[in-house]
Amino acid sequence: MTKPRLIAYYLPQYHPIPENDAWWGEGFTEWTNVRKAKPLFRGHQQPIQPGELGYYDLRDPAIREAQAQLARSAGIEGFCYWHYWFGGKQLLERPFNEVLASGKPDFPFCLAWANQSWTGIWHGEPERILMEQTYPGVEDHIAHFNALLPAFRDPRYIRVDGRPIFFVFQPEDLDAAWVELWQGLAKKAELEPLYLIGIINNEQVAQHITKLGFDGFTISRTSRRGTRLKGMRKALSKLLGPKAAVDFYQKVLKRPYHVYDYKQILPFLELPQPQLLDFYPCVMPGWDNTPRSGVNGHVFFNPTPEVFQQHLHLAIEHVSSYQPEHQLVILKSWNEWAEGNTLEPDRRHGDAFLQAIKQELTQWK
């Protein structure tokens, strides 16, 4: 059996930047929301506090080395750093730029373009546009590629059949001309063609990116389907009507309307597979974005390392028939603390999720 290739999304928002200071207050980082989180219903575990790494600052190279060592020891192949480009302007780029420039940690990486506008949606201000995602044209696309070229050339960059992997969060916003342009720039730079993976949430987008020339897809879906605890939503909607049921959840119960049983979240993570694209499963150690959005959040209730390992096993089985370099499984995420979505050690589970990965991989060596 071939060992699968596990890649974990990595959030860089753990250091202050001027833009976040202006929008949310001086010194804002992801930890701001994590620290102020409160339980919203019986059994709700908040706040979730970090374990051995503490409330770190990603400007500290020692933290980045420690993260890489934890991930490497568990069997994770590399980090996929979220990358932000808004018509020539980058945000939160410092941690990755320092990794690239210093050569440390010596740990594989790739990039995912989070090509969506930043809004105040998770803070009750959905109409507030903080940073709009725009696509000014060909010159901007060329500048974007050239900005990432040193990363693509780095020997640590994760590849499939020699091709640098590049994820796109909203591939439906791009077109075939963008794909053709970037592949042409890769050729001009004497690189192998990029290996483009779209992050999608429905089958229609999968079909669309097949036509664009993408190579594979994975899924990001945390609010589409699932089993709500005790069937309360269905019963209340029938009794009170849909709008009154929402009010009851948010004003009376003081709890999120969307609460799902973590043991039953697999429907969130699967999609039919177009013949021409590889599907790369996404496995989540949990989800709880109430630290950001309060009662408007979504919760995968009671995540456990044991069930996580079961989900991981099914994901690995799915890709086990692929060619060895194509046996990718996406882990969402390494450190999305304000979304309850982290593999890093915390004070509740310790390093149990990392140990679950390590234990599962012993079956695939």
- We report the CATH number of the domain holding residue 100 as 3.20.20.80
C-alpha dihedral sign at 265, 271, 272, 276: negative
C-alpha dihedral sign at 303, 314, 4, 11: negative
* CA 233/CA 222 separation, integer angstroms: 17
Select from 237, 221, 230, 289 the least CA-distant residue to 42. 230
pLDDT for 293:
84
Residue 170 domain-assigned (yes or no): yes
* CA 285/CA 67 separation, integer angstroms: 17
pLDDT for 22-41, tens place per residue? 999 999 999 999 999 999 88
Residue 76 domain-assigned (yes or no): yes
Give the domain range for residue 169.
5-227+261-364
Number of domains in the chain: 1
Which residue ranges in the chain fall short of pLDDT 70? 1, 121-126, 221-257, 266-275
Tokens 């202050």 sit on residue: 16
Taking every pair of Cα atoms in the chain, the longest distance, rounded to a whole number of angstroms, is 64
pLDDT for 233:
53
Residue 189 domain-assigned (yes or no): yes
* CA 294/CA 298 separation, integer angstroms: 9
Residue 246 domain-assigned (yes or no): no
Residue 88 domain-assigned (yes or no): yes
Name residue 262's amino acid. Y
pLDDT for 92:
97
pLDDT for 37:
95
Question: 226 — alpha (psi -120 to 50), left (phi > 0) or beta?
Answer: left
Write out the two tokens for 222: 């945390």
pLDDT for 201:
77
Q: Which residues pair with 237 in a beta bridge?
A: none
Residue 29 domain-assigned (yes or no): yes
Residue 247 domain-assigned (yes or no): no
**42 neighbors 299 (Cβ within 8 angstroms):** no
Task: Record the pTM.
Answer: 0.90
* CA 342/CA 223 separation, integer angstroms: 18
Residue 238 domain-assigned (yes or no): no
